[in-house]
Amino acid sequence: MYCYKCGAHCKDRATYCRKCNGPLLSTQGEGDAKHVTPEALANYHRALKEQRLTDLSPLFPESDLSHGEKLSPELLHSFHQKCLDKAEESYQREVANTEAFYAPKLEKTKGREHEQEEESYRGALAQAKQNRDLSMAALGKEEKAHRAIDTIHRAALEADAALPALDDSTNAHSFAQYLHKRADNSKDRAEAGGCFLVLGLILLIVGLLFFFLSFKTSPDYTITTKILKFDSFEFVVFCAGVGIGGAMLIAGITMVSTAVKTIRAMRNALNYFGVYYRL
Ligand SMILES: [Zn+2]
């Protein structure tokens, strides 16, 4: 399971986070370390194993989505559309705020000063437009919205956290923070995987070099070509290098690829989450 506070991956049976010492499970986010009952722990593991749906109704307040219900394509589509609408709305709000901010300045000023104000007004509008375009591009295809819901749901399930209500900005911020921490922790894992990958590669190359050193001149003078000596020290180094180096290389590649996948998923989820909850 994952800690809601710091996003650390903890043992499935743990009741306290190994990294921040915070309480796990249903006590998460409540401040004091309450005792986790065995029933709560068993319940949590059952839910995780069955991939039981957590309550996703905050994402679909217009429907009477009951607990554990599958999402219909219409609902998924509506979520994407809602996020696009909210991104557009926030752009319109930004434009209105910019206009309200510059209107009195433009009215008061004259000549050179007026031109300067007008220039920064146009700059602010262009900036807002650029932000809107970037946001729209990130929200992109409906496919991405489906994946975001999936990630948000899984992340909530893995930390035994409930999705915040739409108007609960404090808890929405904590949830976004949790998604951020998950992405950050994966970044650390990707770096560790990168080290494994490089070390594995070096060992593999050294091992291969020793393969060529394992060829020795035969004591039999009739054989003029060098023969591979299986009992030589060099051959042992070759086996060890290829074995250990290969294992490290595979471990490194696996670590990096899973970490990169998690980072991408979390960032995509954060994009939608942020727009949806207007963070
Ligand atoms: Zn923690």
| 23 domain-assigned | yes
Strand 227-228 with 215-216, pairing: antiparallel
- Residue-number span of the structural domain to which 2 is assigned: 1-52
What distance in angstroms lies between residue 181's CA and the mean position of ligand 1's atoms? 10
Question: Consecutive sets of 10 residues in the chain, 279 residues long: mean pLDDT of each?
Answer: 90 83 64 58 72 75 68 88 94 95 91 92 95 91 93 89 89 95 96 97 96 87 84 94 97 97 96 94
Residue 71, pLDDT score: 79
Q: Are the C-beta atoms of 170 and 277 separated by less than 8 Å?
A: no
| 24 domain-assigned | yes
CA distances in angstroms from 185 to 14, 173, 252, listed in the order given? 19, 18, 16
Number of domains in the chain: 1
What distance in angstroms lies between residue 194's CA and the mean position of ligand 1's atoms? 24
Residue 87, pLDDT score: 94
Q: Is 10 left (phi over 0), alpha (psi -120 to 50) or beta?
A: beta
| 164 domain-assigned | no
Residue 183, pLDDT score: 96
Residue 264, pLDDT score: 96
What distance in angstroms lies between residue 4's CA and the mean position of ligand 1's atoms? 7
What distance in angstroms lies between residue 278's CA and the mean position of ligand 1's atoms? 26
| 5 domain-assigned | yes
What distance in angstroms lies between residue 160's CA and the mean position of ligand 1's atoms? 13
Residue 31, pLDDT score: 43
Residue 90, pLDDT score: 93
What distance in angstroms lies between residue 6's CA and the mean position of ligand 1's atoms? 4
What distance in angstroms lies between residue 2's CA and the mean position of ligand 1's atoms? 8
Distance (Å, whole) CA 2 – CA 156: 9
What distance in angstroms lies between residue 17's CA and the mean position of ligand 1's atoms? 5
Distance (Å, whole) CA 207 – CA 215: 14
| 109 domain-assigned | no
| 144 domain-assigned | no
Residue 69, pLDDT score: 63
| 33 domain-assigned | yes
What distance in angstroms lies between residue 271's CA and the mean position of ligand 1's atoms? 23
Residue 245, pLDDT score: 97
Residue 198, C-beta contacts closer than 8 angstroms, at least 6 positions apart: 252
| 87 domain-assigned | no
